[in-house]
Structures are given as structure tokens and as C-alpha cells.
Structure 1
């Protein structure tokens, strides 16, 4: 797994604020998936996900052409990292979430995924006690907002697999972002996920993996593809080099908050007192974590958008422990 200290943060407060806003927006959008889950629940799962990533890849590849990004030549190592990112962060992640939901319900997998901030803080090198405390508060809030499910041991194991893949989704992208930038990492990983999901669907569902969707299903799959995949992927990958892995990871606690807000807006349910308390804890943990973060390190150029190679020595692993991302190094993760 990639060393979290190899990435680079940018050099201005404005850029850092942009990264914080993007990380928050990305995780909130991921949480809105709950609002469309009921619409597409009867559509073949793997075929639907293959269609989702196919459309997302088409949009993202079109964007790369429009903004003048050429196809990148990858080294063997970079190709392997990209393939692993797509396999673990997209394909196997979806399989784990699907199976965990079937066995333990969405509450169980949601609760386990709520530990992403803590996992990233622990993997970030030498996190300060304040950062660990902030991550623990976010985890507690996400758990309270999601609710502990009544799943069995297989459901828990699938959920832990989803947690591992969610961490891979971020960490495996870190070495790729300086060269490729957020748009191409998102586009290439989504494109690679399509044949992998298609093969899985054929093996498990045969020709039944695809059918003509109803209008609500088409709208739901389109939302997943354009908003949750295309937009959220770019926001997340663009944020990582700006604010660092552990800081960005705190915003994973907004996933259940996004689900609560979407449910309320769509009339799917009124938030309960535990929902609201959990959301408040998540926000408090994020504030604590951000207050513990030091100023971002100076870099020669941001790898997030244009893919320029950073200056040597930036993001040193010997950075102060008070930084949640080992010297504001970036972490890269749907």
C-alpha cells in the first residue's frame, strides 16, 4: 500500500480551504446514495454498477479531452497501482458492500465504514493524540447516526472487506495523482472497473445481469454515475493532495449525514434524535481534527488538476506529528 507521506499539499490557505470543501462535498455526495438505493434495488446489481462506471468513464474521458489532457503513458508500476485501485477501490468494494448489506443490512456496513477516519489517522504515520481523538469522535458520531445493525459474522467480514477497500481507494491513488491528476485517475479507474464488473455479473447472473431500466431506475443509475461517481470522485481525488489523507479522512463521517439529509429532503424519513446527535458528533470531530492540523507544506505545484510532478523532498515523512497527514502529505480512495 502506498506511503501516505509521498504526496504533496499546496501552498496557500485558499487552496487548503478548497481542499476541505471538496472533501466534505465528496463524502456528503456519497452519503446521498441512500436516497436512490430504493429506486434501483430491483435492477441487477453488477450489471447496474457496470453501467454506472461506463457512463462515468465516458463523461470523465470526455472532460480530459475538453481540458486538453493527453492520454498518459504509464509505467508498469503505475499501471499496476491503477489496476489495483480499480479492483479494490471500486469493484471489490461494491461487491463487499452488496454482500454485507444482504447479510447484515446497511446499518452494519455503514457503521464499519464510519471507522475510515480512524483507520486513516492510524495509517498516517505518527498522528497526534488530538487527531486520534478527533477521528474517534467522528467514528462515534457516524456509528450513532448509522445505528449498530444485527448482522452476523459473515456480514461483519464483508463489511471489514469494504473498509479495507475504502482505504485502498485513497492510498493507492497517492502515487498516481502527481502525474495523472484527479480527472485522469478518476476516468481511468472507472473505465477499468467496467470489464471487471461485467465479468463478475456474467459469472453470477449470466445474461440477466442487464435489462432495459425503467425511467426511475435510469434516473437513479444516472445520478450514481454523474453525481456520486464523476463529481464525487473528482472532488475527493482533487482534495487529497491539498489537505492530506488523515484530514480528508475525517470527512468520511459525513457519509451518514448525507444519507440523513437526503432521506429528509426526499421524504424518506424524519431524522431521529440519535441521527441528529450523531451528525453533531461528526461535525465536532471534524472541527477538532481541523484545528489540530498545521499549515500545509509548500509545494512547487499542485498535482491535483494538471498532473505536474511535485518538487523533490516535499511531504517528508519526518514532518511534525501534529500534522494529521504527516506534514500535510496527501492521501490520494468510490
Structure 2
């Protein structure tokens, strides 16, 4: 099929164990950040996100400067797409999530946004002009079912469901724009520029949302969390995520998003010294089955790898600020 290429399978039958490790590491860090994000509950959310992307963008720009990559001309059209990418996947996603969480339980919001693996398993092959890989799609469905069990149930309003669906669409749009920009501009450049462009957008929203009167100097704990989100999650995890996507493809990488609620649940349970719900444990096991289905492949059937699936094709990790019940 056009737009595809096959990577040689390893002896274990999986295309790239190192790629899986990179993706898993990025998602584990993201999941671990979710409980810590609760420390920002009393700090204006949009302002905190603007600071986080400012730190992350600055770190990524510094990496670009050190790497001294071959200069690439960024056209006006590229800048417009980068702005749309930042507006949807970074600023828009966070704004939609904030709105959704004000009207709908976090579990419901997480279940809707957690459908990202299935979306990637379908959309990425479509962009590569090939049929979805059946094994990847099946594993994505299992992982999404597992994450729904981990998050549990909750109440919802029409407005909250609409906002959560908007967040999901923002993630999808971000993926499409990144897939178009990354092959020519490079993953690191796309990530850095989109982070920087998201800062003024979130700053404007902070003003419109009335955060300015509530803005204050962060406490020591809040500063540490913002620094972690900006420097570790946004910068370091982006690099790991990019490296993994480059090795295993965007559609298969999306399955590892299921590790986010699993890690968040584990960190929360350890922090509160309480056992998770039986259904949450069942969800963790289900996610594990889904991941096993995704990565255990016959050596004779390597995972189809889209030619454009290099770093940045998949939505970049970001803290969801969702609480995970551990009752």
C-alpha cells in the first residue's frame, strides 16, 4: 500500500523494543504528574499552564540551539499551521478540559478524552493512505475499555460532555496538524514553536477568565510542580515520546497512552496508602492485556510503519489535571 514501509521485526517479533520503552517512559511520567498537579488546585489554571509551556518551550529551544540542526525556512503557512496546532492541542485542549471539569465528573471527562488511542489507530493509517492495522486497533479498543474501568463512572451534563468532546477533537486536530508539519520542520522544532505560541494564547485566556486579580506568586510547592511540568514533562518527556514514535509509528504509540491512568492510580494509591477499587484493578489488568496485544507480534508480520511517522505525529503529552479515585 502507498505511504507505508515495513520495519524489520526483532527476534521477539516486536518492531522496536526501544521504541516501546521510550513511549512507555513518557506516558509513565505523564501519569505520575497527574496526582502532583493537585498541588496547583489553588493557583490560576491557565496561568499555570502558560508558565509550564513557557518553561518547556524555552528548554526545547535551548536543545535546538545546542543541536545546531540544519536551518529550515518556516513559511507563513507553516506559522499559521503551528498557531492552529498550539491553539487546538495545547491552549484549546486545556481550556476545554477546564470547562469540562467544571460541569462533569473527572471520570467521565477522562473516559471521553481517553478514546485517543482508538482515534490514533484509525486516523494515522488514514493519513498514511493505508488500512488500519487490525492488531493495533484491537489493542487500542481494549486499552480504552481498561482506562474507562480505571477512571470509573460519574455524573455528566450536556455542557460538560460537549467540552470533553471538544478536548478530544482538539487532540485529533493537533495530531493532524503535527503530522503535516513534522516531516519538513522536524519534531523538535514543531514542539518548541507550538509550546511558545501557546503561551500568549493561554495568557489571553487567563485575562478573559478573570485570573489576573487572583494571580499571585506561586508557593514553593507550586513552583516546584510548575517546574516539573515544564522542564520534565514538557521537555524531557516530549523527547522520549518523539524517540518512541520515530521507532514504532504513531498509531501503535497511541496505545501506550493507556499507561497514564494506570500510573496515576498507582501513585495516588501509594500516596494515600489506600487500596484502589476492584474495578480499577480490573481496568489495570485490561490495559495490560491491551498493551500485550499491541506489542506481541509474529516475527513474520512486522508492524506497518507510516513514512511520515516521525516525532510529533502524535499529540504531545500534557498533564490532564484529572484526579484518579483510589477509594
Please report the TM-score for the alignment, with normalisation by the length of structure 1.
0.82
> Do the aligned partners of 1:64 and 1:70 also contact (CA within 8 Å) in 2?
no
Unaligned runs of at least 5 residues, structure 2: 319-327
The structural deviation recorded for 1:19 is 2.0
Return the match for 1:267 from 267, 272, 297: 272
Alignment coverage as a number of residue pairs:
303
Root mean square deviation of aligned Cα:
2.6
> Do the aligned partners of 2:113 and 2:164 also contact (CA within 8 Å) in 1?
yes
The structural deviation recorded for 1:266 is 2.7
Partner of 2:324: none
> For residues 268 and 225 of structure 1, what CA distance do their matches in structure 2 show?
28
Superposition map of 1:169-318 within 5 A: 169-205=174-210, 207-208=212-213, 210-267=215-272, 269-291=274-296, 294-295=301-302
Change (3 A) 1:8 1:170: farther
> Do the aligned partners of 1:8 and 1:328 also contact (CA within 8 Å) in 2?
no
Superposition map of 1:19-168 within 5 A: 19-69=19-69, 72-123=72-123, 124-125=125-126, 126-168=131-173
Please report the TM-score for the alignment, with normalisation by the length of structure 2.
0.83
Q: Secondary structure at the match of 1:205?
A: coil
Change (3 A) 1:41 1:130: same
The 4+ residue runs of structure 1 with deviation greater than 6 A are 7-12
The structural deviation recorded for 1:213 is 0.4
Deviates more, 1:144-153 or 1:263-272: 263-272
Unaligned runs of at least 5 residues, structure 1: 297-322
> For residues 190 and 240 of structure 1, what CA distance do their matches in structure 2 show?
19
> For residues 230 and 283 of structure 1, what CA distance do their matches in structure 2 show?
27
Q: Secondary structure at the match of 1:87?
A: helix
Change (3 A) 1:278 1:329: same
> For residues 238 and 97 of structure 1, what CA distance do their matches in structure 2 show?
27
> For residues 137 and 260 of structure 2, what CA distance do their matches in structure 1 show?
19
